[in-house]
């Protein structure tokens, strides 16, 4: 087995906190990049260290779930001598990443205009709420706000209830993945050309872009999306949740053959010949007639019974709880659930990256303690002597 991870030799300086930014760099760290997390010694570091529940000694399971495989140093970027440590670190790094408010990277000297003269090939990636330019650049922003801004909440939830956000921070996670892709693309070009650049990703633009086909329908034909019952697909019927005797299941009739097979297995093959339901368009027009019939049938058996009958014939799934999802036989696949022992939190168990590089076996480390690697990085990487490190600490630089 190859023991060299694909991003071995890539070094990223990360000025980050909370979820979206740390998620971006953890994706890179999981693939072998050296991620050096720069935390503010005046604010007890990344705010994610203090997110409840399950906190202990300035750390939390929340923080651990976004920061495995990284190093942590403390450095006060607002200190008038911050450049004495930052610039030498930039000289030996491929990327400087931040997920600060959009107006802050330039003010703190984290953009390419500031750092290009230090290392021409450096990639400076900013992941912000609304981008580094424009009228909202100085506004903070979070996943929940973006789900509201982007229209996601208007199409989520029951038609008779209030708009709802997704149950997870999907905008944060998606934007983090976009930032990781942007970093890799720009770093690859910089390796060829020797010239770096700024990379900008925003939560708002990520959420807007992920409207995808719904946005295309609206922009091209004026389509007005609406909330549908049963978490239904807007155009494929039936593709939704259905009640069972003991819970819920989801079916996805994304092809005509799946609909015909569904109604046959449910005991109503005649519904495949009913002219009201003959095609995608027919079923969409007659959704209100078809769905009640299917619900009458679906409640006659348990979820497990239906899945046994439908699997391999009709795309289907149980509506699991989180506990049930983590107990799925596929979740037992080797390496998917990680155990990362922690000195105060004990065993921290979490889900690994979904990216598997065929010939690489990855090992994983817990997320770092605040400033755990400050002396190591300044001493080993920059060659600072012990006295200089202690003087920097005494002056509040680190």
Q: In what order do the strands lie in the sheet with 239-243?
A: 239-243, 248-252, 316-318
The verdict on whether 172 is a catalytic residue reads yes
* Other Cβ atoms within 10 Å of 260 Cβ, number: 18
- Rounded Cα distance between 346 and 56, Å, is 10
Q: SS3 sequence, 318-362?
A: ECCCHHHHHCCHHHHCCCCEEEEEECCCEEEEEECCCCCCCCECC
Preceding peptide of 70 cis, ω within 30°:
no
- Rounded Cα distance between 254 and 280, Å, is 9
Structure tokens at 22: 């740390």
Structure tokens at 46: 């990344």
Helix (H) or strand (E) holding 293: helix 287-298
- Rounded Cα distance between 364 and 13, Å, is 19
- Rounded Cα distance between 192 and 287, Å, is 55
Count of positions (residues) in the chain: 398
Exactly one of 30, 111, 143, 172 is catalytic; name it: 172
Q: Residue 360, Cα to own-chain centre: how many angstroms? A: 23
Known catalytic residues are 172
């Amino acid at each position: 087995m190859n023991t060299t991870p694909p991003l071995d030799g890539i070094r990223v300086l990360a000025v980050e906190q909370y979820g979206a930014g740390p998620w971006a760099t953890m994706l890179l760290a999981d693939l072998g990049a050296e991620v050096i997390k720069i935390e503010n010694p005046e604010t007890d570091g990344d705010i994610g260290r203090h997110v409840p529940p399950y906190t202990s000694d300035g750390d939390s399971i929340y923080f651990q779930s976004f920061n495995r495989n990284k190093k942590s140093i403390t450095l006060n970027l607002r200190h008038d001598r911050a450049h004495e440590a930052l610039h030498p670190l930039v000289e030996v790094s491929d990327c400087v990443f931040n997920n600060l408010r959009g107006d802050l990277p330039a003010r703190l000297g984290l953009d390419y205009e500031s750092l290009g003269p230090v290392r021409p090939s450096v990639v400076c990636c900013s992941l912000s709420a609304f981008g580094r330019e424009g009228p909202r650049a100085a506004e903070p922003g979070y996943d929940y706000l973006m789900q509201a801004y982007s229209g996601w909440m208007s199409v989520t939830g029951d038609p008779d209830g209030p708009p709802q956000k997704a149950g997870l921070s999907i905008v944060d996670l998606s934007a983090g993945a976009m930032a990781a892709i942007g970093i890799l693309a720009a770093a690859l070009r910089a390796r060829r050309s020797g010239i770096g650049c700024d990379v900008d990703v925003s939560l708002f633009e990520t959420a807007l872009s992920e409207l995808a086909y719904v946005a295309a329908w609206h922009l091209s034909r004026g389509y007005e999306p609406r909330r549908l019952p049963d978490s239904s697909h807007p155009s494929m019927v039936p593709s939704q949740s259905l009640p069972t005797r003991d819970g819920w299941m989801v079916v996805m009739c994304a092809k005509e053959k799946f609909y015909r097979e569904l109604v046959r297995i449910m005991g109503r093959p005649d519904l495949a010949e009913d002219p009201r339901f003959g095609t995608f368009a027919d079923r969409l027009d007659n959704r209100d007639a078809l769905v009640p019939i299917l619900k009458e049938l679906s409640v006659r058996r348990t979820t497990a019974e239906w899945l046994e009958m439908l699997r391999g014939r009709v795309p289907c799934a149980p509506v699991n709880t989180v506990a049930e999802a983590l107990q799925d036989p596929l979740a037992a696949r080797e390496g998917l659930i990680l155990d990362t022992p922690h000195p105060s939190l004990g065993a921290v168990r979490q889900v690994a990256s979904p990216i598997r590089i065929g010939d690489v076996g990855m090992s994983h480390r817990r997320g770092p303690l605040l400033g755990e690697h400050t002396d190591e990085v300044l001493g080993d990487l920059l060659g600072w002597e012990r006295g200089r490190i202690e003087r920097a600490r005494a002056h509040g630089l680190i």
